[in-house]
Amino acid sequence: MTSEVSFPNGFLWGAATSAYQIEGQPLADGAGPSIWHRFTHNPGQVANGETGDLACDHYRRSEEDIALMADLGLGAYRFSIAWGRVLPEGRGRVNAKGLDFYRRLVDALLERGIQPMVTLYHWDLPAALHDRGGWLNPDSPAWFADYAQVLFRALDDRVSRWVTLNEPWVVTVPGYLEGALAPGHRDLFEAPRVAHHLLLAHAEAVGVYRSMGRHQIGLAVNLEPQHSASPSPEDQAAAQRRDAFINRWFLDPLFLGTYPTELASLFGLAWPDFADSDLARIRAAMAHGTGARSDFIGVNYYSRGLVRANPNSVPLGAERVSPADALCTTMGWEVYPRGLTEILLWLRDRYSNPPLYITENGAAFNDPPAMDGMVPDPDRVNYLRSHLHAAHEALKQGVDLRGYFVWSLLDNFEWAHGYSQRFGLIQIDPLNQTRTLKASAHAYREIIRGNRIHSSEGSTI
């Protein structure tokens, strides 16, 4: 006999995507190119030389995709705005056709009873702004605030949840320190400055929203609990450094008004002397009214960090490893649902239990071809169910968790991996763009419909 665990009434069930990964047609209707458009057209940057020129063709197939969302019973859909569609030069002139696409998208979602959660920035900086220094330019927070104001003015009457930035750590580290993602820089001195400007950009956009918005605004961060690979003092210290580097770099300034002390040691001479007034502005974004908290934090969770010391790894002196017997996704990430409970409890304890949404959670696996109109993907079904059990456990322990967004609605362009990594609930045929529901989509529909999950489900991971 199996019992069921239920989620709270009003728990928000959704799915997530991002503009460059699904829209295609990146220069259509007067849009300006982004750093990702440039990056993908630079040979050798992306697997198989693939680009987001077509992606899932969502720019032309949004009505079909929204019908699929409605069929799944989604209560919400998280998507991002392509900055360059709206402001082709990044500032100034508004491209009416680009903005109208998002107006129509929001209206169509609401007609189907799906609440939009809009991300303002999911990594696709307008190339025109990159040519002016991009996120290294001290003016970049003001550029972002001006862009945000255009969207707030156009959509806030219909959009009740906004995310300023998606995973600023990924913008900073793979983008400016490691060179793996756009714009492809490798500079120890650039990374801390980019991170600081991103935090200031979040603060400036929140300030604009407080003056004109009517709903909720937050930040989405990638988080993972850091575990020592062994009991050795070296590995334990390495895990602590990686925790500061990934989990606390962007949250401590927001909630505590300081950067983790480990970062200055890690970056050495590359770590700037940030102004106290900047940190005060950043922290002020997390409070409004009479000391009220920020509206929410979005949590993007995929795996844990299992860490061992490696003095050759700069600047951390640490590296992530996987247990030899671990089940891993095709991204090489260990499947570790318990880590989701751990990171949610960590947020509760370290930052006084802020309101949370799981804004991304999902897995890439090698999916087989469709059979009888459906794609069997049992590993993803198990992944989702086990992680929802982990989320429910955090709820039982008092975490203020308000919703869950699976990554992703569609198989899409997975950045430097091209189309080789499939995260979607819905398979996309790259030849004809046919959409086919996977077994995970059907399983997720049933979870949404009942607002519950059987306690025996997901226990295999």
Pairing of strands 115-121, 76-80: parallel
- Determine which helix (DSSP H) or strand (DSSP E) holds 219, and give its type and residue range: strand 216-222
Break the chain down into helix, strand, coil percent, rounded to 5. Answer: 40, 20, 40
Peptide bond into 337 cis (omega under 30): no
Catalytic annotation, pick one of 23, 50, 167, 342: 167
DSSP state, residue 160: -
Q: What is the DSSP letter of 410?
A: B
| Cβ atoms of 140 and 220 closer than 8 Å | no
Query: Which of 162, 168, 242, 173 minimizes the C-alpha distance to 199?
Result: 168
Strands 115-121 vs 435-437: parallel, antiparallel or unpaired? unpaired
Is 360 part of the annotated catalytic residue set? Answer: yes
How far the first Cα of the chain sits from its last, in Å, is: 20
In contact, 84 and 90? CB cutoff 8 Å: yes
- Cβ–Cβ under 8 Å, residues 44 and 129: no
Give the whole-angstrom CA distance, residue 13 versus residue 438: 18
Whole-number CA gyration radius for the chain: 21
**Cβ neighbourhood burial of 152 (10 Å; 0-12, 13-18, 19+):** buried
Write out the two tokens for 127: 């190339």
Of these residues, 204, 262, 342, 360, which one is catalytic?
360
Question: Angle 434-440-444 (CA atoms, 0-180°, nearest 5)?
Answer: 110
* Listed residue (460, 346, 334, 331) closest to 408, CA to CA: 331
Residues belonging to the active site: 167, 360
